[in-house]
Chains A and B, each alone.
Chain A
């Protein structure tokens, strides 16, 4: 459950990286 939460919370950071790359 906590791993799932961590993975979900990582979405914000992933978005930032994605936008920067593209």
Chain B
């Protein structure tokens, strides 16, 4: 009924230590994990080389403004990984722990209490893992030494008493480890004689609870439980609720849903329409509450048409860079929503919009050429040669002629442009199958996935037909590991390197987006699948179509084993139909960053018993 306060500072340091460590240890582990593992500095040599190549290509054409912007926003993440509040709290926390531990070890009162703890192993001088035999022999040895009858006669009274006490302790220790009843006592109460005196108290010094500091303490608790805690929880809750799983603001998502619900099929989708919708994103409003969607639309158009926005107002370019950089996640969220509405057209145009924004090129039939650097637009568009729309067609001409077509007079500039053009990855389909792991065909209600074998090649390379690639290079291993997880092999491919995108505000990696639709109703059947891993090694091969010759059906000097075959696997969201027959699917593999890098083909799924 009567509680003692912790006058001797015996217990409150332990209480405080426990409370601090409860939070500190998980936080420390989390921060260490972040620092060490969350880097993508775990890149392979090949990945680093490719990254360097594209970074070099892009740097030449990137304006100073954008480089500065990148320095500010890309590096911000790097630095903040080490110098942030959480790390500071961790360091301060551990320093405090050290202080507490030191205080505890210097506290005599605690030491005294510790001394009173009954430790039979220590008394008998044996280790904790000693066997029964060791216990017996240790007791025998010590009892011989300390037995009252065996004590020497010339010891003083005090020494005698202490020896006798010691003997009693030793006997008790032995019994605590061997005798059943006493052992039970020891295990239950920590002492062989049964429950010792226990004191209940409050692990806080008196001054905090009853003294002058007590109103402060009450205030502290009230603030913590009544104000700080609800505020933090509320803030976290609204933050979680405001963003969808794909990382876009819920208001943005509901705007897109509204647009698609009210979308009339009579309205043709265009990139301009999608940009109009994008400009209503809540994220932009949060960045710049003073600007309207019309402003954002204008800025996006400025970006695509490579107009300097600073002429319209101070610092508008920075505003433009920020919203353009944000378009990446908003467009991906929009793509997801379009897939939810099964709208193939909108999804296709969303990806076209992506390309336009990344390359800062309007969506025209000539975009493939206009994405190259140093192109003289007027000269190219008014050129007298047959209309050239594709990089592939461009590379049928010799370098000098290309210079004339693109209106590039400077040799160095031309070389650079050709270098960029030959490093834009083109994707060629070698083989496309519906695969059911462990089966040779697709059976009703099985779960097939789409397996694509592709060749990443340069527009400069001679076309390699499927017949030129031996089947052995396309076959996949049939071992158990592969059956268990057929998608694992995709992750063994290197990360796609950084894009050549000198007009995009941040460094980015390109990706391909796979859309699958049913030919029967022309609607998407599932959410888009992103491809982030493919080897670009083939791009550096010298296999110029202007020089390589054909010998009948074979290509002179072509060694298939020198080339890397890429694999794309698209899981299907639904099982094969119940009835046998043929179902046609349209597969669109579209690049998010480059024009001319797409695949669009039809696959037949033959469902057989």
Contact = CB atoms under 8 A, between A and B. Distances in A.
Contact between chain A and chain B defined by CB under 8 Å: yes
B266 A17 contact: no
A17 B265 contact: no
| SS class, residues of chain A in contact with chain B | helix
A18 B266 CA distance: 12
Interface string A7-22: 1001000100110011
Contact of A21 (B265, B266, B267, B270): B270
A15 to B, nearest CB: 10
A10 to B, nearest CB: 4
A22 B363 CA distance: 9
A17 B365 contact: no
Interface bin, chain A: under 10
A7 B268 contact: no
Chain B binding surface SS class:
loop
A16 to B, nearest CB: 9
Contacts of B264: 10
Contacts of A14: 266, 268
Contacts of A10: 264, 266-267
Given A17-B270, A21-B270, A7 B265 contact: yes
A10 B363 CA distance: 23
Contacts of A6: 266
Contacts of B270: 17, 21
A8 to B, nearest CB: 9
Output the residue of B267, B268, B365 with the most chain A CB within 10 A.
Answer: B268
A17 B268 CA distance: 7
Interface string B344-375: 00000000000000000001010000000000
Given A10-B264, A10-B266, A18-B268, 11 more contacts: A6-B266, A7-B265, A7-B266, A10-B267, A14-B266, A14-B268, A17-B268, A17-B270, A21-B270, A21-B363, A22-B365
Interface of B: 264-268, 270, 363, 365
13 contacts: A6-B266, A7-B265, A7-B266, A10-B264, A10-B266, A10-B267, A14-B266, A14-B268, A17-B268, A17-B270, A18-B268, A21-B270, A21-B363
Interface of A: 6-7, 10, 14, 17-18, 21-22
Complex A-B, nearest 7 residue pairs according to Cβ-Cβ distance, in ascending order:
A10-B266, A17-B268, A7-B266, A14-B268, A21-B270, A17-B270, A22-B365
